[in-house]
Amino acid sequence: MPIASIVAEPPLQDVQTAQHVITSNTKRGVPMPWWAKIAAKVVLSRVMPSYQVRQRLGLFRHGAMDRDAHRQIRQVERVIAHHRAHGRNTPRAILELGPGDSVGMALVAKSMGFHTSYLVDVGDFASRDMQVYTRLLDALRDTGHTPPSNVDTSSRDALLKSVDSSYRTIGTRALKDIPDTSIDILFSNAVLEHVARSEFQDLIEETFRIMTPGAIAHHQIDLMDHLGGALNNLRFSERVWEGRLMSNSGFYTNRLRFSEILDIAKKAGFNFAVTQITAWPELPTPKRALAAPFNALPDDELKVATFGLLLRKPD
């Protein structure tokens, strides 16, 4: 059965689903066994708990957006393009879930005409090195955008204030302080898979609440394990995987599968479509090695490695 056949007829029409196949030699990260990476990350997260220290040593990073100004610009341009094609309102406020190592989205958004922006993360990971943001200003000008003249680059907090942006670092709880129907565009990139399984449905429902009628959200979701790019995270029972040892060591994913995520979005009230699917031609981890209930899922469900999810709140 082709991967496309597990995508139910989407309520959001006229969206083409780009399909890609992962080559058999695709690997991620340091070339070492997945179980050795778990052991190393568990130890490092206890011995070296400061994210800033681990980041400087190159051991953990949240997206590396502080290193790629043009990528930040393209990311916002893409989500604006989705809004132009499928949104039903004038975009004035934008929200990014999980900005990671940079709050540059706030500067990009202001340069593209948004009145205000929100950045929501589970911790204060964004760089305070102002060269990151001055490089982004240069990249914006190089790509034909006009940054506001009053941008304050004396500090990160001053920059955020000068572009009418709010950076909130208490995770999904931060959404509860955002007013109803106040966000026109919302997006994330390789973030939703890290939201705790117990909080995922609440997060999607909160995004529905804060979005204006006709608003769109786009999420790029990575279902691979974050140990090497396979399905080794599905080897563990729920009790073990959701326990503190695994969930607090820097490689946690909620293990929600493709169809589950679509179902949660649908139940929250969203119209939706899948914009992109990347799949393995064969399962990268033997099915017999997977724990229940994953070992009972259809192969086509397990073969989905990444996908793009476009959501629209009904008018």
Q: What SS3 string covers the chain?
A: CCHHHHCCCCCCCCCCCEEEECCCCCCCCCCCCHHHHHHHHHHHHHHCCCHHHHHHCCCCCCCCHHHCHHHHHHHHHHHHHHHHHHCCCCCCEEEEECCCCCCHHHHHHHHCCCCEEEEECCCCCCCCCHHHHHHHHHHHHHCCCCCCCCCCCCCHHHHHHHCCEEEECCHHHHHHHCCCCCEEEEEEECCHHHCCHHHHHHHHHHHHHHEEEEEEEEEEEECCCCCCCCCHHHHCCHHHHCCHHHHCCCCCCCCCCHHHHHHHHHHHCCEEEEEEEEECCCCCCCHHHCCCCHHHCCHHHHCEEEEEEEEECCC
Q: Whole domain around residue 86: which residue ranges?
A: 64-189
**Residue 123: Cβ-neighbour burial (10 angstroms; 0-12, 13-18, 19+):** exposed
Are residues 7 and 93 both part of a single domain? no
pLDDT for the residue 163: 98
pLDDT for residue 6: 45
pLDDT at residue 36, as a whole number = 85
**Domain final residue, candidates 170, 189, 208:** 189
Assess whether 93 and 51 both reside in one domain: no
Is 108 inside any structural domain?
yes
Task: Please check whether residue 194 lies inside any domain of the structure.
Answer: no
Contacts of 31 (CB under 8 A, 6+ apart): none
| Residue 148 CA, distance from chain mean position | 27
Query: pLDDT value at position 222?
Result: 97
Q: Are 54 and 70 part of one and the same domain? A: no
Could you tell me if 174 and 87 lie in one domain? Answer: yes
The pTM assigned to this predicted structure is 0.89
How many structural domains are present in the chain? Answer: 2
Q: Is residue 232 part of a domain?
A: yes
User: Does some domain include residue 208?
Assistant: no
CATH number, residue 124:
3.40.50
Instruction: Please report, in tens digits, the pLDDT of each residue of the chain (315 residues total).
Output: 344 444 544 567 667 788 888 865 555 666 788 878 888 777 777 665 555 554 554 544 455 555 789 999 999 999 999 999 999 878 999 999 999 999 999 999 999 999 999 999 999 999 999 999 999 999 999 999 999 999 999 999 999 999 999 999 999 999 999 999 999 999 999 999 999 999 999 999 999 999 999 999 999 999 999 888 999 999 999 999 999 888 887 889 999 999 999 999 999 999 999 999 999 999 999 999 999 999 999 999 999 999 999 999 998
In degrees and rounded to multiples of 5, residue 262 shows phi and psi of -60, -40
Q: Residue 111 in contact with residue 141, Cβ under 8 Å?
A: no
**CA dihedral for 265, 308, 76, 272, sign (positive or negative):** negative
Q: Is 75 found in the same domain as 39?
A: no
Q: Is residue 202 in some structural domain?
A: no
Residue 112 belongs to some domain of the structure: yes
Question: In this structure, is residue 195 part of a structural domain?
Answer: no
Residue of 107, 225, 228 whose CA lies nearest to 163: 107
Residue 206: inside a domain: no
Residue 62: what pLDDT? 53
Closest CA to 167 of 224, 221, 104, 118: 118
The pLDDT score that the predictor gives to residue 33 is 87
Cα–Cα distances in Å, from 109 out to 88, 90, 104, 182, 183? 19, 14, 9, 16, 13
User: 185 and 96 share a domain?
Assistant: yes
CA–CA dist 72, 104 (Å, integer): 7
pLDDT for residue 72: 93
Torsion angles phi and psi, residue 178, rounded to 5 = -90, 130
* Residues 92 and 183 both lie in one domain: yes
Q: Are residues 80 and 43 in the same domain?
A: no
Same domain membership, residue 108 and residue 46: no
How high is the pLDDT of residue 47?
A: 63
Q: Are residues 29 and 77 in the same domain?
A: no
Residue 100 shares a structural domain with residue 150:
yes
Count CB neighbours of 236 within 10 A: 17
- Comparing C-alpha atoms, which of 72, 83, 55 is closest to residue 111? 72
Regarding whether 153 and 36 lie in a shared domain, the answer is no
